[in-house]
Chains A and B, each alone.
Chain A
Amino acid sequence: MSMLEVNDLHVYYGSIHAVKGVSFTVDKGEIVTLIGANGAGKSTTLNTIAGILPARRGSVEFQGEGILGVPAHKMVRKGIALCPEGRRVFTQMTVEENLQMGGYTRTDAENADTVEDVYGHFPRLRERAYQVAGTLSGGEQQMLAMGRALMGRPDLIMLDEPSMGLAPILVDEIFSIIKSLNDNGTTVLLVEQNASMALSIADRAYVLETGRIVKEGSGSDLLRDDDVRRAYLGG
């Protein structure tokens, strides 16, 4: 049994059919990536799993339990964290307060341990613990958003375009952190526009086109796939 099983998921925005019968699985310990062009339905899929958007049809099972219809604020306790597109850090709060909010569902004692782990992954956050998040650079905000999501000690972390808008060197850093999070036992569902990076660290990948999965395979297979190369890797 997979950790996450999405089956025939349909999501609408009013009359716009954004996700049209998406099915995929994520196994414990994997990095799985969803790649696809702008508007393919990647964020919609993640937001629906996270309980932010309602599904019209289909099912989502997490660790054997149906989670469609569970409100978003109950997902952290179930073991799912979403690091949303555009980071969405609390710009008027300090780095430390942002992390504390990430650990909202946990006790102060638990958070004291977790925050050390997070600072271990992101030493730069420790240096800026008392800085207001709105004044962090884009890369630091991304690290904070990921650190904040990790504060809930999720079994599955969903990352929506963590490399968006970052300089290449920071992209490398973010991806190596994702890899090390995964090595430490966190299962990762990654949505990316940067397909070559995503495929190179992913165990498995799905290609999403206008709301449908059109291809799936191991990360390395898709990296060599002609269609994928042409459409997403610039030849």
Chain B
Amino acid sequence: MSFLTALINGISLGSVYAIIALGYTMVYGIAKMLNFAHGDVIMVGGYLCFCTVQYLGLPTLAGVILAVVGCTALGIVVEGLAYKPLRQAPSLAVLITAIGVSYFLQNSALLIWGADPKAFPSAVSFPSVKLFDGQLIINSITIVTVLAAVLVMVALTLFTSRTKMGKAMRACSEDKGAAQLMGINVDRTISMVFAIGSGLAAIAGVLLCSAYPTLTPTTGSMPGIKAFTAAVFGGIGSIPGAALGGVLLGIIEIMAKTYISTQLSDAIVFGVLIIVLLIKPAGLLGKLVPEKV
């Protein structure tokens, strides 16, 4: 039974990674930048939800909505102020800026909410599911998390494959110059992707804080790095890759914690990543594009 429990916990944690990694990978796909501040948007989402519930006394759902709206706006503002002016700049400058934004968000949170961990109220209140005479308990938050990840994945797949906006996003990801010749406003499309990614980060923040209910200004850092790893693992730029990478990473992490060592689990996770990249440099689902001249 403990294996099954570990597997379920792994899938649950992996689902959160997947949601974060989807944002990472979409932003990378279109802006060709690693948005290191992505993890900190998770933290902002957590605090926004926390404040809505704790100080305004509104139901959790209102907190989730506020977190999503707030982080979406934050994503657009950060992109417009910090990254857009650097569109032509070398990628190292953009990377350093992203690290700067990350610290800016963490320090702002420190200033506003302080360093003390906040006890996060659970976002879901229905009871857990008991199977096999109570030997296997599945938390309600686990169920909600997995469902949310599946829903996000399906929605994004439909968005990018069916809608005009989604296709425009793919066009920009591949060739911005050609995309603007089509009449696509590339700047607005990039901004939209940041908005989507940040909205997803907010959802991930609420789910993460519900499962691990302490909230500090650095809450988003480690999950952010893990999700980035998951995106690379699955093949950066690939949407199914991010989802697969996230889930696998979560499973590996929990399995390593359960069966090997809690202290070593992160080292094992990154060890697996290195091995995968040695065998498949483009990641699990990353593809080398066929090109004809």
A residues lining the B interface (CB < 8 Å): 50, 52, 71-77, 81-82, 84, 88-93, 97, 100-102, 104-105, 132, 134-138, 141, 148-149, 152, 165
B168 nearest CB neighbor, chain A only: A104
B180 at the interface (CB under 8 A from A): yes
A165 to B292, CA, bound (A): 11
Nearest CB of A to B235, in Å: 13
Cross-chain contact B177 with A101 (CB below 8 angstroms): no
Nearest CB of B to A114, in Å: 13
- A–B Cβ pairs within 8 angstroms, 12 of them: A50-B181, A52-B177, A72-B180, A73-B180, A73-B182, A88-B178, A88-B181, A92-B170, A100-B167, A101-B171, A101-B179, A152-B182
Cross-chain contact A101 with B167 (CB below 8 angstroms): yes
Cross-chain contact B171 with A93 (CB below 8 angstroms): yes
Nearest CB of B to A178, in Å: 18
Total A-B Cβ pairs within 8 A: 81
Cross-chain contact A73 with B175 (CB below 8 angstroms): no
Nearest CB of B to A102, in Å: 6
Per DSSP, chain B at the interface is: helix
Q: Which residues does chain B contribute within 8 Å of A141, judged by CB atoms?
A: 292
Contact among A50, A71, A100, A138 for B292, CB-based, below 8 A: A138
B133 at the interface (CB under 8 A from A): no
Q: Which residues does chain B contribute within 8 Å of A88, judged by CB atoms?
A: 175, 177-178, 181
For the A-B complex with A88-B175, A88-B177, A101-B182 known, give 12 more contacts whose Cβ atoms are closer than 8 Å: A73-B184, A75-B183, A84-B178, A88-B181, A92-B174, A104-B164, A134-B290, A134-B292, A137-B292, A141-B292, A152-B183, A165-B293
* Interface core residue of A75, A88, A101, A136 (most chain B CB under 10 Å): A101
Q: Which residues does chain A contribute within 8 Å of B293, judged by CB atoms?
A: 138, 165
Question: Which 3 residue pairs of A and B lie closest in terms of their CB atoms, listed nearest first?
Answer: A76-B183, A105-B183, A88-B178
B157 at the interface (CB under 8 A from A): no
A52 nearest CB neighbor, chain B only: B177
Q: Which residues does chain B contribute within 8 Å of A82, judged by CB atoms?
A: 181
A201 to B111, CA, bound (A): 70
Nearest CB of A to B87, in Å: 13
Cross-chain contact A148 with B182 (CB below 8 angstroms): yes
Q: Which residues does chain A contribute within 8 Å of B178, judged by CB atoms?
A: 84, 88-90
B186 at the interface (CB under 8 A from A): yes
A71 to B178, CA, bound (A): 13
Q: Which residues does chain B contribute within 8 Å of A84, judged by CB atoms?
A: 177-178, 181
B185 at the interface (CB under 8 A from A): yes
Nearest CB of A to B291, in Å: 6
Cross-chain contact A104 with B289 (CB below 8 angstroms): no
- Residues 28-54 of B contacting A (Cβ, < 8 Å): none
B173 nearest CB neighbor, chain A only: A92
Nearest CB of B to A9, in Å: 19
Q: A91-B174, A92-B174, A93-B170 are in contact. Are A104 and B182 (CB under 8 A)?
A: yes
Q: Which residues does chain B contribute within 8 Å of A132, judged by CB atoms?
A: 290
- Contact flags B176-199 to A (C-beta < 8 A → 1, else 0): 011111111110000000000000
A52 to B186, CA, bound (A): 12
Q: Which residues does chain A contribute within 8 Å of B292, judged by CB atoms?
A: 134-138, 141
Nearest CB of B to A164, in Å: 10
Nearest CB of B to A154, in Å: 11
Q: Which residues does chain A contribute within 8 Å of B185, judged by CB atoms?
A: 73
Cross-chain contact B167 with A93 (CB below 8 angstroms): yes
Cross-chain contact A91 with B289 (CB below 8 angstroms): yes
Nearest CB of B to A55, in Å: 17
Q: Which residues does chain B contribute within 8 Å of A76, judged by CB atoms?
A: 181-183
A74 to B175, CA, bound (A): 17
A90 to B180, CA, bound (A): 12
Nearest CB of B to A69, in Å: 15
A88 to B186, CA, bound (A): 16
A82 to B180, CA, bound (A): 10
Nearest CB of A to B25, in Å: 15
Cross-chain contact B184 with A104 (CB below 8 angstroms): yes
Nearest CB of A to B224, in Å: 27
Cross-chain contact A72 with B289 (CB below 8 angstroms): no
A149 to B185, CA, bound (A): 16
A52 to B168, CA, bound (A): 18
Q: Which residues does chain A contribute within 8 Å of B177, judged by CB atoms?
A: 52, 84, 88
A100 to B174, CA, bound (A): 15
A101 to B292, CA, bound (A): 20
A92 to B288, CA, bound (A): 11
Contact among A50, A90, A152 for B174, CB-based, below 8 A: A90
Nearest CB of B to A125, in Å: 16
Contact among B175, B179, B181, B184 for A81, CB-based, below 8 A: B181
